Chains A and B, each alone.
Chain A
Amino acid sequence: MENQQQNMTGSWQLNCPVEIPAETDRVTLAHGEGGRLSRKLIQERIVSVLKNECLEVSGDAARLPRIAGSLALTTDSFVVSPLFFPGGDIGSLAVYGTVNDLAVSGARPLWLTLSLIIEEGFPLLILDRVLQSLAEAASSTAVKIVAGDTKVVPRGAVDGLFINTAGVGELTEPVPPGPEFLAEHDELVVSGPIGQHGIAVLAAREELQFDPLPHSDCGSLLKAVEQLRGALGDRICCIRDATRGGVAAVLQEWAESSGLTLSIDERRVPVSPGVRGMSELLGLDPLHIANEGTMLIAVRQGAGHEAVSVLQTLSKTADARVIGIVKARGVAPVTVKRTLGPEQPLHDPLGSPLPRIC
C-alpha cells in the first residue's frame, strides 16, 4: 500500500518524458463502469490507435480467420515501474514481451489481446502515450491487437497502470524441439549484450546517475529468430528470451529439463561497460539481470559460429557470441568460468531483489 501511495505522487510524473499539466484529464472510476465514458475511452483513445480489421468493438470475442498450422498461445502481465525507462516503456514491453515468447517458441505471432488495469487518477495523456507506443510495437512486428479489456480500479489498488497481453501464433516447421532434447556438445549462443533491461529500469527507478545511462534492450526478436531458423533449420535445439532471472535462469531451466550440465565462459559473454560498472557497484551479476530483447539459443555441435554469423548481420544482434557448451552432467547443473579461478557453479539469482522489472 505504501509503495503504491508513494508512486502515486511520484513515479509516473517524475519518470515520464511527457510534461503533465497540473489540470490534466485523468482516468476516473466512471471510465471503467461500462457507460458512456467507458465507450468514449475505448473508442476514442484505444480502438482509434490500435485499429485493424479484426478488432470488433461491439462483440464479446474476436472472430479470427482459419489458419493452416498448429497454434502457439502465450500470456504475460506487465507491471514495470517506472512505466517509462531509457529504451522503452510498458506499452512496447507488453507487445515485444509476448511477441518474443511466441517467436522463440517457433511461432509466427499473429494476434494479441490487450487488458489494461488502470488506477483511478491516471493521466489520460500518459495513457495515450503508452497506447501509441504499444501500437507502434504491434505494427513493427505485424501483429494485430484483436481483443481487449479495460478496468479502472480505485486509487492505490494498482500502481498507475498494469497491462496483460496474450498472444496467438502459428507454429512453423521445423519447430525447435526444446531443452529436453539438448545433447552433449551442443553450443550455447547469446544474441547480444546482457543485463541492459534490468539495469536501465533500476537506474530509472532509483534515479541513479550514470553516464552513459544504460538503455533497455526492449525490442522484438522476431526478425533475428526468423533469419536464424531460416539458416539453421533443425540444427536449432531451443531458443528462449532471457527475461526475469536473466541468462542464468534460462540455463538453470535448460539444465533441469535436459539433465545435462550447461557450461559457459564469462569472458565470452557480451556485457556493456555501463551494465558491468553498475553491476560491480551494486554487487549484481549481469548473468542474473533481466533482458527484454536478448535470447539464448542452443544449437547442435559445430553450428554455433554459423548462428553467430547470421545474427551479426542484424544490428540488434550484432554482438551475438558463442558463450558455452553442453556437457555430461557434472557436479553442478550450470557452471561458469570467470576471468580468474576455477569453474564455478552458477546458481539461480539470489540476494538483492529487483522487483517489478517487467
Chain B
Amino acid sequence: MKYLDEYRDPTAAQMLLDEIRRVSTRCWTLMEVCGGQTHGLLRHGIAAELQGTVELIHGPGCPVCVTDQADIDFACQLAEQPDVIVTSFGDMLRVPGSQGSLLDARTRGGQVRIVYSPLDAVELARKQPGKQVVFFAVGFETTAPATALAVKQAAQYQLDNFSLIVSHVRVQPAMESLVEAPDNRVQAFLAAGHVCTVMGYESYGRFVDRYQLPVVVTGFEPLDLLEGILACVRQLEAGESRLENCYSRAVQGAGNRSARDLVHAIYQISDRRWRGFGRIPAGGLSLQEQWKRFDARVRFSDCGLPVILSTECRSFDVMTGQLKPPDCPHFGKQCNPETPLGAPMVSSEGACAAYYRYAGV
C-alpha cells in the first residue's frame, strides 16, 4: 500500500537499526512525545530491538490520558441529564472518571454517542433542535482545527444547542515541565509529527536554544521512527542540540497555515489541568470570549462533585517516564483493558495499552 509498505520495509528497517547501533557509543535516553509513536515503537518491536543502545521513555502525548478527570466527570454528568447528548471520539468512552466512564454513564441511561468528526456533532445538533448536543473536544493541536471548524459552523447555523467541553492540550508546555523536573533524564526528544503538521516546528527553536536538547520531528511508521532515533543519536554523539525535521513528507516549518489560522480565530492559550500533572501554565486551549456561548461549562453548571482520583493508578509515573508499564504492580492484573485503573490502559495511544497489546512473547 502506497505510503505505508515502503515505510515498513524490513530490510531498510534492519539497516537503520544497524546504523543506530553502529553510531552509539553509549546508551542514550530519548523521549518519544506522542502516544502514537509509543504504539509504533512497541508494535514493530523497535523498543525491544534497541534495548541497551537507546532507552525510549514514553512521553505524555496521549491526549485522552491527560484529559483532566474533572472534565470526564462533567461529561458523564451532562450525559445523564435529560435532553443532553454527549458526543465524543470513541477513545474517550472507556476512560474511568470518579463515577465510572462515559460508557458506564450510557449504561445507566445517559446519552453518549461516538462521532468520527466534530462536524458530525454539529450535524446532530441541527437534526435534533430539541436536544443539547455537547462535543467532548479532547486532543492536542492536531484535533483543534476540526473542533474550531465545528464552532465556526455552529455559529454560521446559529445553533444554540451545540457546545463543547474544551479539553485541548498543548504539547510544548508539557515538554518544558518535564525537562524542568529535577529528576529529568531525557536527553533528546522525538517531537510529535502530527502536531507539527498543523502547528509547524519553528516554535521548537526556542525550546532547543533554552534547554540545549536535540528535538527531531518524527513520524509514526517504523522507518520514520528509526530515522528520528538515528538523527537524535547522531546529534548526541556529536555533542549537538539542533532542531531537525525527519518527517518532511508531512511537516513544513510553518505548519498548515489555514488550520493554524482557524485555531487562532477560535481559541486562546490558557492554563490547563493535566490529569496526573496538575496545572500546566499555557498547557491548553480555551474558547475566546466571543465564542464562550459554545462553552459547555458556561452553558451548563457543574454540580461540582468532588473528583475522586484512583490512589492505585500510577499513570503519572508512566506518563512522565518514571515507570515502565510492565513494572507497575497492577499492570495486567488488577488493571487491564476491561477494568482499567487509569486512562493509559484504554486509550488507543496509551503507553499501558501499547505494552498490554504488543509486549513480546
Contact = CB atoms under 8 A, between A and B. Distances in A.
Contacts of B13: 340
Contacts of B179: none
A21 interface: no
Contact of B90 (A9, A331, A341, A351): A351
A6 B127 contact: yes
Interface stretch (A59-67, A124-132, A276-284): A276-284
A17 B124 CA distance: 23
Interface string A319-358: 0000000000011100100111111110100111100000
Contacts of B10: 339-340
A350 B361 CA distance: 19
A280 to B, nearest CB: 7
Interface in B89-135: 90-91, 93, 111, 113-114, 116, 124, 127-128, 131
A342 B360 contact: yes
B348 A351 contact: yes
B357 interface: yes
Contact of B356 (A206, A276, A340, A347): A347
B348 A341 contact: no
A345 B361 contact: yes
B26 interface: no
Nearest to A277: B1
B113 A342 contact: no
A350 B85 contact: no
A283 B348 contact: yes
B27 interface: no
A299 B128 CA distance: 54
Contact of B116 (A206, A273, A330): A206
Contacts, number: 78
B242 to A, nearest CB: 28
Given A338-B44, A340-B222, A351-B90, A280 B4 contact: yes
A3 interface: yes
Contacts of A211: none
B360 A343 contact: yes
Contacts of B48: 341-342
Given A276-B1, A340-B45, A350 B337 contact: yes
B43 A338 contact: yes
B357 to A, nearest CB: 6
A3 B127 contact: no
3 closest Cβ pairs, A-B complex: A341-B45, A340-B44, A342-B360
Interface of A: 2-3, 6, 9-10, 206, 208, 273, 276-277, 280, 282-283, 330-332, 335, 338-345, 347, 350-353
Interface of B: 1, 4, 8, 10, 13, 43-46, 48-49, 85, 90-91, 93, 111, 113-114, 116, 124, 127-128, 131, 222, 337-338, 346, 348, 356-361
19 contacts: A2-B111, A2-B131, A3-B113, A9-B127, A208-B116, A280-B4, A283-B348, A330-B361, A339-B44, A341-B358, A344-B359, A344-B361, A345-B361, A347-B337, A347-B357, A351-B346, A351-B348, A352-B90, A352-B114
Given A341-B358, A344-B359, A352-B114, 13 more contacts: A2-B111, A276-B1, A280-B1, A280-B4, A282-B116, A340-B8, A341-B45, A341-B46, A344-B360, A347-B337, A351-B91, A351-B346, A352-B91
